[in-house]
Amino acid sequence: MSVSDSPLPVCVNHPSRETALRCGKCGDPICTRCVIQTPVGGRCRTCANLRRLPQYEVDPALFAVSTAGGLVTSLVSWWVLSYVPSLRFFLSIFAGLAIGEVMSRLARRRSNILLECLAVGAVVGGFVVVARFHPGVQVVSAFGGGQATAYDIVPIIFASIAAIVKLR
């Protein structure tokens, strides 16, 4: 009996498929559907040890701490910017960068789409709170019962984009 006459083993996950491939670590027979290419060769799903990269894993505690820090930074930034309304367009970019930097540092330089959404929430939340409670300065006309203008909305957009860019 020659080697070519012996039947091929079947895949451990697909019993109807014969295969000549084996996992490079455990040696189980795997078919072309099951093989996962790794830097050291083809492996089965168990041995490939697939998981998310650590820079994209953010704990709920890090979300909470970085959001709180971003909101505080946002409140301070918009409070300061309310005293220089003529420069709000340009300085809102720096406010967004500051919010993104604080959130990034508090999240240990990790990146996540939810963290970016929370940064936008911090930018908007800080702006709304300052607009509502700032004494003597009307920061935004939309929250005072009037019509929102580009002068009110564009700084929020600039700051949000800057915060997102800083978190990536």
Beta-strand ranges (E) seen in the chain are: 36-38, 41-43
Domain ranges (residues) in the chain: 1-50, 54-167
Give pTM, 2 decimals: 0.67
Structure tokens at 69: 């820090």
pLDDT at 132: 81
Cα-Cα-Cα-Cα torsion 29, 31, 34, 35, nearest 10 degrees, comes to 80
Q: Which whole-number Å values give the CA distances from 8 to 31, 46, 52, 129, 150, in the listed order?
A: 11, 22, 34, 69, 70
Q: What is the mean pLDDT of the chain?
A: 84
pLDDT digits (tens, 9 = 90+) for 92-143: 999 999 999 999 999 988 888 899 999 999 999 998 888 888 764 555 444 5
